[in-house]
Amino acid sequence: MNLWPNELLRRLRSAGHVTVLTGAGISAESGIPTFRDAQTGLWARYTPQELATPQAFAQNPERVWQWYTWRRSLITSAQPNAGHRALAALERQASGFTLITQNIDGLHQAAGSRQVIELHGSIHRVRCLEAGHRFPWPEEDTAAPPPCPTCGSPLRPDVVWFGEALPTPALEAAFQAARRCDVFLSIGTSAIVQPAAQLPLIAQEHGALLIEINPQPTPLTPLADACIAAPAGTALPQLVQMLTGRRET
């Protein structure tokens, strides 16, 4: 089935700059649960909103550390999917392209995307609580957060938790890319977590065509210029094929 009307393809072909925002939905087809899907197994009784907070880490650092260790084990055994690969292909052929992600899984980079703005940090790094020293995630699994090798304060995942500010350079680059683009693609995000949820609207206010790719409706759906109601792993490879004539596998 052709998901991409000619008018959208025409706008994408003539766009000087395309900006893309991705959320957990793009990694769903790699087997990584999204945030607002029901979780299974050991962690089913906790919601991310209860664990991904500075308060949760202060009250029970072991539990938060073990939850991230579990999430990281899911991520390190996952592979990028056809949606990630198609975005890497779009970056290679576009005249101007910015990829912004709310994901911490690193799968865009693993698929070959070269420039990725990570709004919510990365699960592949830790930083210490007191001085902010950054390191790769420790190789050895531990039940409690290990101490910082430099200053001894506990290490935490280098990700943004609820109630925390986003990294300023990433946020500024993301807003700039939203303001300057001709087409904005919002992919696999429930479009409710701020400030990322503002980006598509800012792009539209600045004249961009706003396209959403999501099998489910979101608060953005009635505002978008077009919605492709299909999984990213189907819609994006088809888009690349229609734009370039090449099939990405």
Buried b vs exposed e over 70-86: b needs ≥16 C-beta within 10 Å?
ebbeebeebebbbbbbb
Q: Taking CB under 6 A as the rule, does residue 189 contact ligand OAD?
A: yes
Which residues from 155-184 bind ligand OAD, rule CB under 6 A? 160
Beta strand pairing call for 121-128 and 134-136 = antiparallel
Q: Taking CB under 6 A as the rule, does residue 190 contact ligand OAD?
A: yes
Q: Is there a catalytic annotation at residue 17?
A: no
Instruction: Give the span between the Cα atoms of 231 and 11, in whole angstroms.
Output: 21
Nearest to 198, CA basis, from 28, 117, 189? 189
For residue 44, give Cα distances in angstroms to 35, 37, 50, 190.
12, 10, 12, 20
Specify the DSSP class assigned to residue 73: H
Q: Taking CB under 6 A as the rule, does residue 106 contact ligand OAD?
A: no
Q: Which is nearer to ligand OAD, 108 or 120 (CB)?
A: 120
Nearest approach in angstroms of CB 149 to ligand OAD is 26
Catalytic residue, chosen from 17, 84, 108, 120, is 120
* Longest pairwise C-alpha distance within the chain: 58
Q: Taking CB under 6 A as the rule, does residue 66 contact ligand OAD?
A: no
Task: Tell which one of 19, 66, 98, 102 touches ligand OAD (CB under 6 A).
Answer: 102
Please list, in sequence order, all residues whose beta carbon lies within 8 angstroms of the beta carbon of residue 41, skipping any fewer than 6 positions away.
none
x-or-dash string of contact with ligand OAD, 115-154, rule CB under 6 A: -----x----------------------------------
Q: Taking CB under 6 A as the rule, does residue 34 contact ligand OAD?
A: yes
Task: Tell which one of 116, 218, 228, 240 touches ligand OAD (CB under 6 A).
Answer: 218
Nearest approach in angstroms of CB 197 to ligand OAD is 8
| Identity of the residue numbered 43 | W
Instruction: Give the span between the Cα atoms of 4 and 236, in whole angstroms.
Output: 10
Residue with tokens 């003539």: 14
Residue ranges that bind ligand OAD, judged by CB under 6 A: 23-25, 28-29, 34-36, 48, 52, 102, 120, 160, 188-190, 193, 213-216, 218, 231-233
Q: Which residues are catalytic?
A: 120
